[in-house]
A and B are shown apart, each in its own frame.
Chain A
Amino acid sequence: MILIGELSLWVALLMAAWGTTAGFAGAYTRRAELIASARRALFAMCGFVVLASIGLWTALLTSDFSFKFVAAYTSANLPSVYKFTAFWAGQEGSLLFWALILSIYATIAVYTARKSNRELMPWVVPTLSAIALFFILVLCFGANPYARLDWIPPDGRGLNPQLQNPGMAAHPPNLYLGYIATAIPFAFAVGALITRRLDAEWLSSVRRWVLLSWFFNTVGIVLGMWWAYVELGWGGYWAWDPVENASFLPWLINTAFLHSIMVQEKRGMLRKWNVTLVVSAFLLSILGTFITRSGVISSVHAFSQSEVGYWFLGFLIIAIAVTAYLVSTRLSDLRATAELESMVSREATFLFNNLLLCGIAFSILWGTLFPILSEAVCGTKITVGPPFFNSVNIPLGLGLLALTGIGPLIAWRRASVRNLRRQFTGPVICGVLVGVALLAGGMRAYYSVMSYALGGFVLATSLQDFQKGTSARHRMYGEPYVIALFRLVARNRRRYGGYIVHIGVVVLFAAFAGLAFKKEFDVTLRAGQTFSAVDGFGDHWTFVSQGVSDYDELNRHTTAVLLEARRNGKFVGMIKSEKRQYIDSQGNPTFEPATEVGILDKPHEDVYTVLAGVIGEDTAEMRITFNPLVWWVWYGGMIMALGGLIVMWPQAERRRAQAGYVAPLAPGFVHAEAEAVS
């Protein structure tokens, strides 16, 4: 099977090359047999990439250390589940994983669109084949997972302990699923630009893929935050690390697109902008991959550096040049078909929402790349860390939070004073009350106060709409409130799924605002010694060290310290934090010691302990951190993902049309609609 896998990679390369060449030639000359051949080559490529992946998984699970990749990322005593996930732990395997997901996505996209987008598909197929060809080329010539060692070592090096965590098993696949999904909209955009069929048809195909990308990116980012929090031990979930930033950029752009596409669907506006966003999301995914793999920017969780990054730089340059040319030569075809009627309208609000999302994306990209720029211009090495990103992005984030509440309730075209009063009186009062109550309660972290006040406002706008819709159904159909609420959401998934996402955003902002009340202590405790502290909520905590212990487990030697925790004199639990020295099957240490943090988690606060070192036999050096509202990050993420799922869930066209959200399919439809209304 391994040999079949190895050979399959080369056959997949040929298939991708043929799919690209025949596809572009067929699309250009309009020769049906070449177009069909390219499509079949893409399907075949997918099959061979699947075989290549199965081959690598077989090598990993059977510990075939003749392969460099297997020896570098696994060991004989590694649990099987981590042998499986080691597939994406290293450069070569993760690139094959990219190619695998891309080819599966491409096959699904081409197969499902076979009866629609007839003009576009001949260009979409070779574009997707070309992207796949790039990845398989890198695999074959830059980072081959099937590269063999000159000798067979008795055991492998093992998997980095920090990757031996369930979060890390799930976080990268989700991020990849999100990243790679941007390739499909990109291919459709290229097809639409080449054929100049820039009506709403291609956008309706693209929207689902952008949603899919957004969904997996959301899940992947939140899982990554969770992994960083429980595994890395520095006490937080987001460090503005370059690789984290790179994963966030496509998410921001996809979020902007999911809002601005509504303006195009409803009003026929922002056509140039939407094409630009679709293309940018893909280019930023490639840029993120370049940052992760090239080592041009120092990052805690970059892959080991190699020349592969420069392949991505070359690909990025070509992709930018091609898309810049296509967009610039099609500007006249992208002219808006409707006009703005008022600055106080939903479309204007969405435009500002896009401005802020792209502003945040720019500031993050700028901050990430600025050390390179600074060194190139001034020759000075600098660090751009969390203080920079926080000071720039907190005000922008708060502005975005405010628009999250305003956007959905303001009317399309032109909002009347009556509309504004009816929709916003309650939520504004709610937000003001929250802010005043917090200030009266003594809260002086002003960004946090603003965050909670705006959160109250946004929550009220969303709940108000749920309440109005549910009450209306209850009155009209006599449905009980719970059934009415369920059917309200089910019949208009896009709208109410969106509101659920917004509620998730509010929960996340509430969690972020809680960081202002984080407290941390650097303590040294001998067995039996006590440490007392007051947390951000004013509770008195006492920690009693139970001493330090050493013991061996499956593939590691562990040093642990146990603390008895009491809040306001009442026992609340034991907290154990560990340092683990992983060993191979010969008993030799592998990697540097890894942290296993101790967490006593409650909905309002986590007590987070890290064993920093041991002095003598029973004295532990520790950091104890009170982290408020961390649970809310995970729940906020889950609520957002749930909202995304509801939005994505297929809905019958008839119902969607009733809900007023069906994308107009015929060219010029939007224009006709606009005229009919005016």
Chain B
Amino acid sequence: MPTRRQFLASLGAGIATASLARALPAQQAMRGMNTGTANVPMNENAYHKVELPSRGTGPSMTNVQRDALEHKIHCQCGCNLDIFTCRTTDFSCQVSPPMHRDVMALVAGGYSGPEIIAAFVKVYGERVLMEPEKHGFNLAGWFMPFVALGGGTALVVALLRRWRHPAAEPERVTELPVNATSDELARIDQLVRRDDA
């Protein structure tokens, strides 16, 4: 008969593995999207145009700021890189150059960084961002490591406190008045020593 602890451990392991197995089909759509060493062709149809009417106010940012903005947008060719890095690395990529052109058009149209990001999210969904936005379920993604670390710290401190037993201080020996002669004391001492030996 398993103990409660064994049961909970088995249950935990079961739930974790079952939830992983359940989640697997969700990523199947990602298959075939790899480049690099995977010998799998990139997804060249992943590009969708992102456009907004020009405000006619001139460019909203410098080229350096635009490059920094492109570091926040995920190239959709399946490479795991941002569009700045992908377009300046892989000249066979069919996706990052048009995405870059869309960014340039939006910058020229006077749109700010957050507005451009929002426009991309509207077309591609959240996966176009290099990091999840901090809202809803994503908060679990952002804060869980710190929650786990906090929990771990609390556990470690609790364990340390439980384990902590100050080294016992040596017992104090109180000398009591002894009602015996020195000969008697010497005889007792000899007996004790003989027993010890």
Contacts and interface: CB of A to CB of B under 8 A. Distances in A.
Contacts of A378: 136-137
Contacts of B32: 305
Contact of B23 (A321, A373, A611, A622): A373
A317 interface: yes
Interface stretch (B4-12, B105-113, B171-179): B4-12
B186 interface: no
Interface string B49-66: 000000000000001000
B26 A351 contact: no
Interface in A349-368: 351-352, 355-356, 358-359, 362-363, 366-367
Nearest to A309: B24
A486 B186 CA distance: 58
B26 A385 contact: no
Interface in B79-95: 79-82, 84-92
B85 A384 contact: no
B160 A372 contact: no
Contacts of B129: 382-383
A257 B171 CA distance: 38
Contacts of A520: 67, 88
Interface stretch (A44-52, A141-149, A234-242): A234-242
A387 interface: yes
Contacts of A414: 167
A295 B31 contact: yes
Contact of B130 (A233, A300, A386): A386
Contacts of B67: 520, 522
Nearest to B127: A381
Given A384-B131, A522-B84, A295 B165 contact: no
Nearest to A613: B91
Among B16, B88, B156: residue with most chain A CB under 10 A: B88
A328 B160 CA distance: 22
A593 B92 contact: yes
A321 B156 contact: no
A343 B164 contact: yes
Contact of B126 (A381, A396, A593, A622): A381
A610 B91 CA distance: 10
Interface in B2-49: 3, 5-6, 9-10, 12-14, 16-17, 19-24, 26-27, 29-40, 42
A236 B81 CA distance: 11
Contacts of A593: 91-92
Contacts of B24: 294, 296, 313, 372
Contacts of B164: 339-343
Contact of B127 (A235, A303, A316, A382): A382
B166 interface: yes
Contacts of A591: 39
A396 B149 contact: yes
B38 to A, nearest CB: 5
A419 interface: no
Contacts of A342: 164, 166
Given A302-B34, A373-B23, A595-B89, A384 B132 contact: yes
Interface in A101-128: none
Contacts of B190: none
For chain B, give the interface size range. 35 or more
B55 to A, nearest CB: 25
Contacts of B136: 378
A592 interface: yes
Contact of B132 (A163, A297, A388, A621): A388
A327 B10 CA distance: 11
Interface string B109-151: 0000000000000000111111110001110011011101100
A542 B90 CA distance: 25
A369 B22 CA distance: 13
Contact of B81 (A234, A269, A374): A234
Given A234-B81, A370-B141, A355 B153 contact: yes
Contacts, number: 234
A298 B89 contact: no
Given A374-B141, A376-B22, A388-B141, A358 B152 contact: yes
A328 B6 contact: yes
Nearest to B128: A383
Contacts of A321: 10, 13-14, 17
Nearest to B81: A234
Contacts of B5: 328, 331
A377 B140 CA distance: 12
A372 B22 CA distance: 10
Given A321-B13, A341-B165, A384-B141, A595 B80 contact: no
Nearest to B70: A522
A385 B23 contact: no
Contacts of A658: none
Contacts of B31: 295, 305
A233 B40 contact: no
Contact of A592 (B6, B92, B128, B148): B92
Contact of A375 (B9, B27, B37, B163): B27
Contacts of A296: 24, 27, 30
B45 to A, nearest CB: 16
Given A320-B17, A372-B24, A373-B23, A359 B38 contact: no
B192 interface: no
Contacts of B13: 320-321, 324
Contacts of A36: none
A304 interface: yes
B23 A376 contact: yes
A298 B80 contact: yes
Contact of B85 (A234, A241, A352): A234
Contact of A351 (B84, B144, B156): B156
B26 A328 contact: no
Interface string A591-602: 111010000000
Contacts of B86: 234
9 contacts: A297-B30, A313-B21, A328-B10, A367-B145, A372-B24, A372-B27, A381-B126, A386-B130, A592-B90
Interface of A: 160, 162-163, 232-235, 239, 241, 269, 294-305, 313, 316-317, 320-321, 324-325, 327-329, 331, 336, 339-343, 348, 351-352, 355-356, 358-359, 362-363, 366-367, 369-378, 380-388, 391-392, 396, 413-414, 520, 522, 579, 591-593, 595, 610-614, 621-623, 678
Interface of B: 3, 5-6, 9-10, 12-14, 16-17, 19-24, 26-27, 29-40, 42, 63, 67, 72, 74, 78-82, 84-92, 125-132, 136-138, 141-142, 144-146, 148-149, 152-153, 156, 159-160, 163-168
Given A296-B24, A340-B163, 16 more contacts: A296-B27, A300-B80, A313-B20, A316-B17, A321-B14, A321-B17, A339-B164, A339-B165, A359-B149, A366-B148, A369-B20, A373-B23, A380-B137, A383-B80, A384-B141, A392-B142
